[in-house]
């Protein structure tokens, strides 16, 4: 009887390996650029057509290969980067598995042309579906050119998973950007269907970041540089005003390799606790260096994940390095400290400002909200001594805030709904409206309520022909990730339907000419960023409409004042009236409750009257 088990032919094992390494055109480009960088290239250009489906070409000026090495490079487990198992403990190159080239060549029509120094002619090898078809001498510049045509032509299942050309080229742009940030000393260029997506010359990290994340964003970054015996952490981090709705602008590199590691990301987010709102992510480019033996990169074929020998030491070093910078609140140096939104009563306002200024000087990191509402106990002792006694603090620190107009007994208008029928008592902490309804105390979260009203209005507008749009007086540009730009390409008409007029403005820049009217007075650019981040996250097959409610909720959220905001009685009543006018649900668009009722009986129980 013939054995049941057979060793698979190499062609097949390469195809299987390709399943892990070659997920989409962007992953091919990642492997090829990493090879170029390992070969010492200082000038790398990427060209794709149809999102990489038709053609991917990476050209470098690295050290190239001899004819013999070029042939060997296409064999499985053939690498020039390690020789023995002890080398695995100290990997300094980006590659080492010797898998990428044979894997890519097994699922495409592949051509490798390469020339090394000292050789008069280059070698050109053509491979089809993993079989070498032709080997020739060729004339070419020093370096290597790899062309990958018709990727997945022989693996139809994979082909089906390819997204639209715009989406795929978006991913390619993101991969090139990540690698470009990792090596400012090399020049990169990326062309998609003859359109230049990215072109960066050799420079330093700061300039490279401004080319990749945008000049405006880069101007708001603060340097990190911390070195302990074991780990060094350097790079740039953003302050509280430069945030994104997803982690896409967190670039972290371990020993020069881009990683998407949970430990690293957790350390970053821990450092930002209290500095940025929950659900927001900073812009960060961090380079973490540690002895090669301390980190295992051989965890996954794509090498995006790593394992640390001393995980908590690395975590704490990253967190401490970031906290050291954030604690100094470097963003306060260039901007005036935000003062309370509510204008503070005269006698103590000055003292309060002085205290805050002193606190800022003492380099105290203030969590965002506390920048406005500094509790005395959070001030450093040294400042405490110099400053006014606690009793002189303005009423901001007292929990019940006074309405900014003197309280007048409410003049009720004819009630035409539950909310309008409520008697407004006042405002609590500039965040909640307190009302009375018979023997009930009704507490309304003014932010959630305004958001709900805005959301219902937007929904209504959507149903009757489209969200009202407002042209910006001066169109603004916004720099995005390439996936986000690709989302605009896919959903331009739909975006216009919800009030956004966006046009490509070269590379990863967009021109924003109009935004939803309801949100026009707020930070329109931040809204555009958030909406596009949401869109970039959805698959090609998902319809825009699946996400519509979420997007409208986002616009609604941007259209209303966040956090504390003193309201006049008139404004509170207006809000209550609008709540009745809209088809109102008892929750904000995110599902949080809008109002809460405390009955007299409940209060009496608290006060032990019953
Ligand atoms: P690995 O990078 O893990 O070694 P690859 O399959 O990606 O495996 O590449 C195999 C070998 O081919 C590399 O070790 C390297 O010697 C050579 N090689 C690949 N790409 C280039 C390039 N652009 N320039 C010079 N040599 C290259
Ligand atoms: Mg490689």
Residue 306 and residue 413 in one domain? no
> In angstroms, what CA-CA distances link 233 with 89, 178, 289, 325, 564?
21, 18, 7, 12, 36
Calculate the CA dihedral of residues 204, 207, 210, 213 and round it to 10 degrees.
-20
- CA-nearest residue for atom 25, ligand 1, is 64
- Over range 77-96, report the average pLDDT: 83
Of 373-377, 445-449, 522-526, minimum mean pLDDT range: 373-377
Q: What is the helix (H) or strand (E) element at residue 473, kind and residue range?
A: strand 469-479
- Over range 288-317, report the average pLDDT: 87
pLDDT band per the 50, 70, 90 thresholds, residue 239: confident
- Has residue 158 been placed in a domain? yes
Task: State the pLDDT at residue 300.
Answer: 77
Residue 294 and residue 194 in one domain? no
Last residue of one domain, picked from the residues 315, 331, 347: 331
pLDDT at residue 412 above 60? Answer: no
Task: State the pLDDT at residue 182.
Answer: 96
Q: Check if the beta carbon of residue 277 is closer than 8 Å to that of residue 312.
A: no
Q: Output 216 or 168, whichever has higher pLDDT.
A: 168
- Has residue 387 been placed in a domain? no
- Tokens at 110, concatenated: 């592949």
pLDDT band per the 50, 70, 90 thresholds, residue 306: confident
Last residue of one domain, picked from the residues 139, 173, 202: 202
Among the listed residues 358, 31, 350, 9, the one whose alpha carbon sits nearest the alpha carbon of residue 179: 31
Could you tell me the distance, in angstroms and rounded to a whole number, from the CA of residue 93 to the centre of ligand 1?
11
Last residue of one domain, picked from the residues 202, 228, 257: 202
Tens digit of each residue's pLDDT (9 = 90 or more) over 377-399: 322 333 333 333 333 333 332 22
- CA-nearest residue for atom 7, ligand 1, is 100
Tens digit of each residue's pLDDT (9 = 90 or more) over 423-480: 999 999 989 999 998 888 999 999 888 888 888 889 888 888 889 999 988 899 998 8
Q: Which residues line ligand 1 (CB under 6 A)?
A: 31, 35-36, 39, 60, 62-65, 73, 78-81, 95-101, 144
Task: State the pLDDT at residue 507.
Answer: 81
- Has residue 426 been placed in a domain? yes
- Has residue 393 been placed in a domain? no
Question: What is the average pLDDT score of the chain?
Answer: 82
Provide the domain count of the chain. 3
pLDDT band per the 50, 70, 90 thresholds, residue 63: very high
Query: 149 CB contacts (<8 Å, ≥6 apart)?
Result: 54, 55, 56, 108, 109, 110, 111
Ligand of minimum distance to the alpha carbon of 87: 1
- Has residue 360 been placed in a domain? no
Ligand of minimum distance to the alpha carbon of 122: 1
pLDDT band per the 50, 70, 90 thresholds, residue 539: low
- Has residue 391 been placed in a domain? no
- Residue 141 sits in a domain whose CATH number is 3.30.565.10
Q: Output 328 or 294, whichever has higher pLDDT.
A: 294
Specify the residue for token string 């900014």: 404
First CA to last CA across the chain, in angstroms?
Answer: 89
CA distance 185 to 389: 55
Tens digit of each residue's pLDDT (9 = 90 or more) over 100-148: 999 999 999 999 999 999 999 999 999 999 999 999 999 999 999 999 9
The answer to pTM > 0.75 is no
Residue 38 and residue 58 in one domain? yes
Could you tell me the distance, in angstroms and rounded to a whole number, from the CA of residue 103 to the centre of ligand 2?
10
Q: Output 62 or 1, whichever has higher pLDDT.
A: 62
Atom index in ligand 1 nearest the CA of residue 34 equals: 2
Could you tell me the distance, in angstroms and rounded to a whole number, from the CA of residue 69 to the centre of ligand 2?
14
- Over range 49-60, report the average pLDDT: 97
Of 150-154, 277-281, 375-379, minimum mean pLDDT range: 375-379
Output the CA torsion sign for 19, 20, 25, 29.
negative
Atom index in ligand 1 nearest the CA of residue 58 equals: 23
Residue 402 and residue 505 in one domain? yes
Specify the residue for token string 């090669």: 292
Q: Check if the beta carbon of residue 190 is closer than 8 Å to that of residue 44.
A: no
Among the listed residues 288, 284, 291, 281, the one whose alpha carbon sits nearest the alpha carbon of residue 318: 288
Residue 425 and residue 476 in one domain? yes
CA distance 49 to 484: 19
Task: State the pLDDT at residue 232.
Answer: 96
Residue 211 and residue 177 in one domain? no
Mutate to test the pocket of ligand 1, among 36, 83, 101 (most ligand atoms within 8 A of CB): 101
Task: State the pLDDT at residue 273.
Answer: 85
Residue 246 and residue 163 in one domain? no
Q: Output 33 or 410, whichever has higher pLDDT.
A: 33
> In angstroms, what CA-CA distances link 228 with 134, 213, 270, 295, 578?
53, 29, 19, 16, 58
The DSSP 8-state label assigned to residue 198 in this structure reads E
Tens digit of each residue's pLDDT (9 = 90 or more) over 165-199: 999 999 999 999 999 999 999 999 999 999 999 99
Calculate the CA dihedral of residues 523, 524, 529, 531 and round it to 10 degrees.
120
Task: State the pLDDT at residue 590.
Answer: 65
Residue 465 and residue 557 in one domain? yes
Per the structure, the complete domain to which residue 18 belongs is given by 10-202
């Amino acid at each position: 009887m013939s054995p049941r088990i057979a060793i698979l032919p190499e062609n097949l094992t390469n195809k299987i390996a390709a399943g892990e390494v070659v997920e989409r055109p962007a992953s091919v480009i990642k492997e090829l650029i990493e090879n170029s960088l390992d070969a010492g290239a200082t000038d790398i250009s990427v060209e794709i057509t149809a999102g990489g489906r038709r053609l991917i070409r990476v050209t470098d000026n690295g050290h190239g290969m001899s004819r013999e090495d070029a042939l060997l490079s296409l064999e499985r487990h053939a690498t020039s980067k390690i020789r023995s198992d002890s080398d695995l403990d100290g990997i300094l190159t980006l590659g080492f598995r010797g898998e990428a080239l044979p894997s890519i060549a097994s699922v495409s029509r592949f051509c490798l042309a390469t020339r090394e120094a000292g050789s008069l002619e280059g070698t050109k090898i053509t491979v089809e579906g993993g079989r070498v078809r032709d080997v020739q001498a060729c004339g070419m510049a020093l370096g290597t050119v790899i062309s990958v045509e018709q990727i997945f032509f022989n693996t139809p299942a994979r082909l089906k998973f390819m997204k639209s050309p715009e989406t795929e080229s978006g991913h390619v742009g993101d991969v090139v950007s990540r690698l470009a940030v990792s090596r400012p000393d090399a020049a990169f260029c990326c062309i998609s269907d003859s359109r230049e997506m990215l072109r960066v010359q050799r420079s330093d990290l700061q300039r490279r970041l401004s080319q990749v994340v945008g000049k405006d964003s880069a101007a708001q970054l603060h340097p990190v540089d911390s070195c302990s015996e074991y780990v060094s952490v350097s790079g740039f981090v953003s302050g509280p005003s430069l945030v994104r709705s997803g982690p896409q602008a967190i670039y972290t590199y371990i020993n020069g390799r881009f990683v998407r590691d949970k430990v690293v990301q957790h350390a970053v987010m821990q450092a930002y606790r209290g500095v940025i709102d929950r659900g927001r992510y900073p812009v960060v480019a961090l380079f973490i260096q540690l002895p090669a033996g301390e980190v295992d990169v051989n965890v996954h074929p794509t090498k995006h994940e790593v394992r640390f020998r001393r995980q908590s030491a690395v975590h704490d070093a990253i967190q401490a390095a970031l906290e050291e910078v954030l604690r100094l609140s470097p963003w306060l140096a260039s901007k005036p400290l935000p003062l309370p939104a509510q204008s503070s009563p005269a006698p103590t306002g000055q003292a309060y400002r002085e205290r805050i200024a002193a606190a800022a000087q003492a380099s105290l990191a203030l969590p965002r909200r506390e920048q406005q509402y500094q509790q005395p106990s959070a001030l450093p002792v040294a400042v405490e001594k110099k400053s006014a006694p606690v009793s002189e603090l303005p009423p901001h620190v007292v929990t019940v805030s006074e309405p900014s107009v003197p309280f007048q007994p409410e003049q009720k208008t004819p009630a035409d709904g539950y909310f309008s029928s409520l008697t407004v008592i006042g405002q609590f902490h500039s965040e909640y409206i307190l009302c009375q309804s018979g023997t009930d105390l009704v507490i309304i979260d003014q932010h959630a309520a305004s958001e709900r009203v805005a959301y219902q209005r937007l929904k209504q507008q959507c149903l009757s022909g489209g969200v009202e749009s407002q042209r910006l007086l001066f169109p603004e540009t916004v720099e995005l990730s390439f996936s986000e730009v690709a989302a605009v390409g896919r959903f331009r008409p739909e975006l216009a339907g919800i009030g956004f007029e966006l046009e490509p403005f070269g590379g990863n820049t967009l021109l924003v000419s109009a935004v939803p009217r309801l949100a026009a007075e707020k930070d329109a650019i931040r809204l555009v960023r958030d909406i596009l981040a949401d869109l970039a996250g959805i698959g090609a097959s998902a319809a825009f409409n699946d996400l519509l409610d979420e997007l409208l909720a986002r616009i609604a959220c941007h259209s209303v004042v966040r956090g504390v905001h003193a309201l006049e009685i008139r404004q509170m009543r207006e809000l209550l009236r609008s709540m009745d006018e809209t088809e109102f649900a008892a929750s904000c668009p995110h599902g949080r409750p809008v109002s809460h009722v405390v009955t007299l009986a409940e209060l009496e129980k608290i006060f032990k009257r019953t």
